[in-house]
Structures are given as structure tokens and as C-alpha cells.
């Protein structure tokens, strides 16, 4: 291959990489969190009642089927804390939750795998305007492959979750009392658009430099 043909080939490759960059995140993953493994304290119950004080409920709304691009920020569902008869902390009428655990079963329908994020909480006291409940998650990543999978393989996909989720007070947030469990889905099969664009840009720059060098001779 002559030097001229080599530069022509590199120019074509650069153009292709640059055009691929916007489509690099076009791959999608289908997942859900409403499997039978999702629930409080090792059960499929999606509601947890307070153990002392006023009647309060912590309820989880899972995602039945969600389709997400890769890589992308995602949510695994929403926790909603309610206490109709709680007052503000200043007035002192609240509710108490005992220590509990909550499992989110993630089903990766695209790759045919499942895995669990388990959140542990020491419980705590809540009022209409404040909540001390935190859920600390473990593990914080499912996949790639069979890493932390309870069945199947996530292939090149991995699901991540924030280290902890803070449960907001019943009158906080929008909608009131709702806390989203956040995370991220990624895949090693998908080059980052910025990387593709950078490589393409470098190759194009080299091609232009070579043309200028030849022209100036």
C-alpha cells in the first residue's frame, strides 16, 4: 500500500468514527425490578409499616419494564414514605421504623440475567418534616458476566446503584415523600461517543496536516 493510499484509508476511517460517535449510545437494554425477589425483609411485600408511634408506611413502586440507552443514568423504582397523622419534629408526634432490609431484584431481559441489590437500614424516627432513614446498598454493581448474578449472565452489561438512598420526609420532594433509587447501566460493547469522536478528530487532523505538508512542497 502506498503512502497516498494509506492516508486515504485513514481519512475514510476517521470519517466513519466521527459519524459513529452520535450513534455509539444507541444500544438499548431492557430491564425490570418488579420480580418476585423484590421486597422488604426477604419477602415480596412492597409495603413496610412503622413499628411504633403513628401509623406510617414505606412503600416501593418498582419498574415493570424499562428500556434504557447505554450508557445511561437509570432509576430502579421509587420509595414513598407516608404518615398522615405525623406532626412536625418540633411538635414531636412521629413514627418509628425498626431496622429492615430491602431487596431490589434486577432482571436484565436483554441478556437473560438477574441479580439483587440489597439495602440495609437501621430504621429510625420520622416526622412530617424530617426522616432519618437511610438504605445502604450492597453490592453496588451487577455484572458484567456472572459477577453478582443470581442467575444467567449479564454479558458485557453492568448495572450500578448509588451507595445509599436517603428516604425523604412525608412532606418533602415531588411527589411528596417520594425518593428515587438511582443508578447507571453501561456496557463494554459500546465505545463512549467522546472517545470515538476524539479518535476520528485526531485522524482527520493528521490527514489535514499531511495535505498541508504536501501542498507546501
CA distance 204 to 19: 12
Indicate whether 10 belongs to any domain.
no
Q: Is residue 19 part of a domain?
A: no
d(CA 156, CA 140): 17
Residue 137 domain flag: yes
* Residue at 100 is within a domain: yes
* pLDDT tens string 70-95: 999 999 999 999 999 999 999 999 99
Whether 214 is covered by a domain: the verdict is: no
Range of the domain at 124: 27-208
For the segment 160-215, what is each residue's pLDDT rounded down to a tens digit? 999 999 999 999 988 999 999 999 999 998 655 544 454 444 444 445 445 454 45
Note whether residue 13 is domain-resident.
Answer: no
**Of 101, 32, 98, which is closest to residue 68 (Cα–Cα)?**
32
Instruction: Confirm whether 17 is domain-assigned.
Output: no
How would you class 45 by CB atoms within 10 Å of its CB: exposed for 0-12, middle for 13-18, buried for 19 or more? middle
Element (H, E) at 79: strand 72-82
* Pairwise CA distance, residues 81 & 190, whole Å: 38
Q: What's the number of domains the chain is made of?
A: 1
pLDDT at 6 over 90: no
C-alpha cell at 155: 454479558
Query: Residue 166 falls within a domain, yes or no?
Result: yes
Instruction: Please report the pLDDT score of residue 8 as a whole number.
Output: 52
Least confident of 21-30, 68-77, 90-99: 21-30
DSSP 110: T
Amino acid at each position: 500500500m502506498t503512502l497516498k493510499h494509506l492516508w486515504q484509508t485513514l481519512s475514510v476511517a476517521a470519517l466513519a468514527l466521527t459519524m459513529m460517535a452520535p450513534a455509539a449510545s444507541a444500544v438499548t437494554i431492557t430491564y425490570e425490578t418488579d420480580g418476585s425477589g423484590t421486597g422488604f425483609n426477604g419477602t415480596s411485600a412492597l409495603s413496610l409499616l412503622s413499628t411504633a408511634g403513628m401509623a406510617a408506611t414505606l412503600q416501593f413502586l418498582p419498574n415493570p419494564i424499562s428500556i434504557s440507552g447505554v450508557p445511561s443514568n437509570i432509576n430502579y423504582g421509587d420509595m414513598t414514605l407516608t404518615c398522615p397523622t405525623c406532626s412536625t419534629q418540633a411538635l414531636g408526634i412521629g413514627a418509628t421504623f425498626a431496622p429492615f432490609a430491602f431487596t431490589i431484584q434486577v432482571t436484565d431481559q436483554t441478556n437473560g440475567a438477574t441479580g439483587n441489590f440489597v439495602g440495609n437500614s437501621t430504621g429510625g424516627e420520622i416526622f412530617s418534616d424530617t426522616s432519618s432513614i437511610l438504605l445502604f446498598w450492597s453490592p453496588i454493581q451487577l455484572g458484567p458476566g456472572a459477577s453478582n448474578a443470581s442467575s444467567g449472565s449479564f454479558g458485557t452489561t453492568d448495572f450500578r446503584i448509588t451507595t445509599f438512598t436517603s428516604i425523604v420526609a412525608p412532606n418533602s420532594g415531588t411527589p411528596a415523600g417520594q425518593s428515587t433509587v438511582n443508578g447507571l447501566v453501561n456496557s463494554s460493547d459500546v465505545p463512549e461517543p467522546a472517545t470515538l469522536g476524539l479518535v476520528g478528530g485526531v485522524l482527520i487532523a493528521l490527514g489535514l496536516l499531511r495535505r498541508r505538508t504536501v501542498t507546501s512542497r
